[in-house]
Amino acid sequence: MSESYLWFYFPLVVAIMAVLEICRHDDPKVIVKRSLVNAGILTLVLLCGAVVLHIFGEYL
């Protein structure tokens, strides 16, 4: 059931990004937009890393 831990990933990342952006900006629209964009970028980077590791583990 370790994959169930993924349910906790996105709320945590969005909360982290939101706090970081709240500390930098005052405009709520900017905060929401940049939080979601940064969370998406981080997720993409992690997914790319996971794919690379999977390819290495599976075929190399």
Partner 1 sequence: MSASSFGYVLAGIMLAGLAASAVLFEREHRRTGAAFFLAWFVPGAGHLLLGRPVKAAVLFLILSTLYVTGLWLSGWKLVSFDDNPFYYVGQFGSGITMALGRLLAEPKGYPSDAFPTKWIDPAMLYVCVAGLLNVVVTVGVFDAARPPHAPEKAGEAK
Nearer to partner 1, 5 or 59 (CB): 5
Q: What is the dihedral of CA 11, 50, 42, 6, to 10 degrees?
A: 0
CB atoms within 10 A of CB 13: 17
Positions in the binding site for partner 1 (CB under 8 A)? 1, 5, 8, 12, 15-16, 18-20, 22-24, 26
Nearer to partner 1, 32 or 55 (CB): 32
The tokens 């005052």 sit on which residue? 26
The amino acid that residue 59 corresponds to is Y
- Supply the minimum distance, in Å, between the C-beta of residue 41 and partner 1: 14
Nearer to partner 1, 22 or 47 (CB): 22
